[in-house]
Amino acid sequence: MSVTIASAQYPISTHSSFDNWVIHTEHWVANAVEKGAELLLFPEYGAMELVSIFNQTIQEDLRSQVIELNALKDDFCRTFSNLAIKYNTIIIAPSLPILDNGRRINRVFVFSPKGLAGHQDKFFMTRFENEEWGIESGEKILSVFEAPWGSFGIQICYDVEFSLGSQLLSNAGASLILAPSCTETLRGATRVHIGARARALENQIYTVVSQTVGNAIWSPAVDINYGFAAFYSTPDHDLPEEGVISTMPPQQEGWLIEKLDFSKIEAVRQYGQVFNYKDQQQLRVGFADNTVEIKYVKSV
């Protein structure tokens, strides 16, 4: 089975109103679908552009922004749900900071042609998120999204720099890890991409990175952005020798689109030059104080 995926290099733009943002978002979705994409991956914190519709006081207050964005959560989800249904596609929406039982959480919502399918919360916080923004780790639940062409999981930005989530998701059936990301420097982007390549190697899977690009000086959260989209695999039979399927030049806005064939993943796991996935099963990883729950989201 195969699927065509579009990964966004996404600029944080300003909008005069929520309705203006909806028009902007539909343009991006329509553009990817017109190019044959069946799954659209937006980056981490791409939804921060909605802060531009708030007054200047809110725009300058990191913690108040989350409260205001949380008030837009239902409209945000309704927008992407309508677009996924209208364009008959799977959309991994840009992550949105929300309030969950009073805690600030970084959440990625997933939408299918049937509407809202589920979500994935970020586990590991960067220093900026933790120390300045007050964003906290989500519940230790990993969602495996089951689509007609295969299963996938999501590791948000910093999460993909750790082996834990991708290993558990792969063990649970995922052959694809999506890594929506937001970084401000080449160093930060490099850490995410090295992590994504390592996860592809360890688990003999595909990984896809989407990142924010450009500057939004009005925003203290996402004022500077550096990144590029990429598709990675394990370097083995019938796959790229360096494990790099494709990348897009940094800082350009647009979609990077690739068709991924999951039969190649199955073949490598059975007949590859090495058996990273099988040998990885000998390792046991986890949090010292938490058990990670696997949640299956069927019929995406």
User: pLDDT of 50-83, one tens digit each?
Assistant: 999 999 998 888 888 999 999 999 999 999 999 9
Q: Are 231 and 5 in contact (CB under 8 A)?
A: yes
Question: What's residue 220's pLDDT?
Answer: 87
The count of other CB atoms within 10 Å of the CB of residue 249 is 10
User: H/E element holding 263?
Assistant: helix 262-271
Report the alpha-carbon distance of residue 75 to residue 259 in Å, rounded.
31
Amino acid 52: pLDDT: 94
Q: Percentage of the chain surpassing pLDDT 70?
A: 100
- Give 154-171 pLDDT, tens digit per residue: 999 999 999 999 999 999
Tokens 């930060």, residue? Answer: 188
Strands in 89-175 per DSSP E: 90-92, 96-100, 103-112, 115-121, 141-147, 150-154
Q: Is the pLDDT of residue 296 over 80?
A: yes
Q: Which domains does the chain carry? A: 2-297 (3.60.110.10)
pLDDT number for residue 284: 80
Q: What is the pLDDT of residue 191?
A: 98
pTM of the model: 0.96
Residue 279 has pLDDT above 80, yes or no: no
**Average predicted confidence (pLDDT) for the chain:** 94
Q: What per-residue confidence (pLDDT) applies to 283?
A: 82
Answer yes or no: is pLDDT of 299 > 80.
no
Tell me which H or E stretch contains 15.
none
Considering all CA atoms of the chain, what is the largest pairwise distance in Å, rounded to the nearest integer? 59
Contact criterion met (CB below 8 Å) for 267 and 277: no
pLDDT of residue 122: 97
For 94-103, 193-202, 268-277, 289-298, which range has the lowest pLDDT when averaged over its residues? 268-277
282 has a pLDDT exceeding 90: no
pLDDT of 4: 98
Pairing of strands 2-11, 224-225: unpaired
Q: What is the mean pLDDT of residues 5-27?
A: 97
pLDDT score recorded for residue 12: 94
